[in-house]
Structure 1
Amino acid sequence: MRVYIGCGGYSNEDWAAPNLIYEGVRKDDFLATYAQHFDAVELNSSFYAIPGLKAFEGMARKSGGQVRFAVKLNKAFTHERTPTEADFDRMLQSPEPLREAGVMGPYLAQFPYSFHRTADNRKYLGLLTERFAGHELAVELRHASWDKPEVREGMAEYGVIWVSPDYPPVGGMPEPQVHVTGDVGYLRLHGRNKGSWWEGQSAAERHDYLYNRAEMDEWAEKIALVNDDLSELYVFFENTTKGHALKNIPMLREALNARGVPVRAPDPRDFGDGRLL
């Protein structure tokens, strides 16, 4: 199993704080610097506006072909659920430079908690699956009504990746387990900030959580159990607030390697100046 580990987004300005990876780095160089530390990233900007071809060309170039990109579907597909034909065309075609560079990961459909398992929502999810047929599509379903074996069996039948989550223990959401519905796995670690998950005013507040070593060991154990079942696993840390993810990723790498799951970190020799902050 090849494990790709990265963060939810790379343009985190609070990472410019002292002793974090963007200290003294120009914003235009954030992605190039990110690529020196991580081999995957979840693209958040596409949720708000679908980038064009030139933007994706720039991402492939600045990351030096060293980073796999999971591209989040625009909110028109998951929150508004009224995508137009133009939205489908742009979402499917614009990331072509990533495919040409061999760094395109799965699309991510991140549905809100309000997206319950109803007949209409099941029908909509089926339609979305059909439109993205031929592409890897990972689906995060936050309401517990979807957390059933029969749902994952259906996703496996249609080649859809179940997003395994780690949420705060607030109830009403899927359990923190690694589930396999195909050859590729996808794990999103949101942190366990129970106090601000519902009441937080921003994503930064909700994801303000630093995992401890025991919690990283716990996830390494769960990942090791599916080592023989997957060819690739994407692990994304969403707790980017205050650089928490930057501290947790080395913990998880160490825990996985200790359990016989090899994880590669970027080699500084692959980059021009060889500098790792």
Structure 2
Amino acid sequence: MMNIWLGCGGYSNDDWTAEGLIYEGVKKDAYLQTYAEHFAAVELNSSFYAIPGIKAFEGMVRRAGGRDFRMAVKLNRVFTHDRAPQDSDFDRMLQSPEPLRDAGMMGPYLAQFPYSFHRTRENRLYLAELTERFAGHELAVEVRHASWDRPEVREGMAEYGVIWVSPDYPPVGGMPEPQVHVTGEVGYLRLHGRNEGSWWEGQSAAERHDYRYSRAEMDEWAEKIALVEGDLSELYVFFQNTTKGHALHNIPMLREALEARGLSVITPQPADTGRLL
């Protein structure tokens, strides 16, 4: 049976302190603990900007521990945007999350490449080298330019044990199609919202992800997920539309749609706070 882990891209969202949302009246150092009461997984964003140390990951385990919880770790920008990692960067990126592994909370690494990362010979060689350095670890790769959206690319990823990140982008063209593709036993889906007007022109990620999915759109994704149930043992689904708490409303919609189709969604038991979810 495929286990589905639902969560958000990041958990340090100050706009979730609004009335009725999960961080209302919650101190910042208790965000992760509160988050883990409602969601079974999170995509760690802070590691993109600075790789946390081992003690920082130990703290995350303590705050989210005692629950069936997974944390996907985004690779630092030196691997995906600068593309000039040193051996020391690899060492820190691979060693620092050890507390997550010890606690059984480690999800895949996420390599999120920018749209400018086209499928050129140079970039293919770089991706092959990166894949080799992370061999033995679950590595999910998001490539945003449509030139990568080809069966032979996914076949290559499957051969090397790399997870193709299935995306949901606004319908602006030039990016991979919104389909769930399988390259191994683990799947990875990132839902960015469909805010066409601000995807290219938006001044920030928050502006680009300012979108709330409809119930019909969540049903559409539940249908696509149901089609690959027999092909995956685990599927991670991360909502990036965290602006204004949109993801907090959409995750219950998707969970309900998945469970209505008999799919297994990992769901924590929330505390009785009276807040959303």
Give TM-score scaled by structure 2 length: 0.97
Q: Please list, as runs of the form range in 1=range in 2, the aligned pairs for 1:1-277 lying within 5 A after superposition.
A: 1-66=2-67, 67-268=69-270, 275=273, 277=275
Aligned-partner Cα distance in 2 for 1:267–1:12: 21
2:51 counterpart letter in structure 1: I
- Displacement after TM superposition at 1:263 (Å): 1.5
2:58 counterpart letter in structure 1: E
Q: Against the structure 1 CA distance between its residues 275 and 18, is the aligned structure 2 distance closer, same or farther, given a 3 Å change threshold?
A: closer
DSSP 3-state at the match of 1:47: helix
- Displacement after TM superposition at 1:276 (Å): 5.9
DSSP 3-state at the match of 1:71: strand
- Displacement after TM superposition at 1:159 (Å): 0.1
- Displacement after TM superposition at 1:70 (Å): 0.3
DSSP 3-state at the match of 2:265: coil
Give the ranges of 4+ consecutive aligned residues of structure 1 lying more than 3 Å apart after TM superposition. 273-276
Aligned-partner Cα distance in 1 for 2:150–2:124: 13
DSSP 3-state at the match of 2:19: coil
Aligned-partner Cα distance in 1 for 2:101–2:229: 26
- Displacement after TM superposition at 1:267 (Å): 1.4
1:77 counterpart letter in structure 2: F
2:31 counterpart letter in structure 1: F
| Structure 2 unmatched ranges of 5 or more | none
Q: Against the structure 1 CA distance between its residues 62 and 224, is the aligned structure 2 distance closer, same or farther, given a 3 Å change threshold?
A: same
Aligned-partner Cα distance in 1 for 2:218–2:83: 35
1:56 counterpart letter in structure 2: F
| Structure 1 unmatched ranges of 5 or more | none
- Displacement after TM superposition at 1:14 (Å): 0.3
- Displacement after TM superposition at 1:264 (Å): 3.2
DSSP 3-state at the match of 1:171: coil
Aligned-partner Cα distance in 2 for 1:81–1:177: 27
1:46 counterpart letter in structure 2: S
State percent identity of aligned pairs: 79
- The answer as to whether partners of 1:65 and 1:101 remain within 8 angstroms in 2 is no
Per-residue deviation, residues 184-213 of structure 1 (Å, max 9, x unmatched): 000000000000000000000000000000
Alignment RMSD: 0.9
- The answer as to whether partners of 2:6 and 2:266 remain within 8 angstroms in 1 is no
Aligned-partner Cα distance in 1 for 2:66–2:135: 25
- The answer as to whether partners of 2:111 and 2:140 remain within 8 angstroms in 1 is yes
- The answer as to whether partners of 2:240 and 2:247 remain within 8 angstroms in 1 is yes
Aligned-partner Cα distance in 2 for 1:214–1:259: 14
Aligned-partner Cα distance in 2 for 1:195–1:61: 41
Q: Against the structure 1 CA distance between its residues 245 and 212, is the aligned structure 2 distance closer, same or farther, given a 3 Å change threshold?
A: same
Give TM-score scaled by structure 1 length: 0.97
2:200 counterpart letter in structure 1: W
DSSP 3-state at the match of 1:36: helix
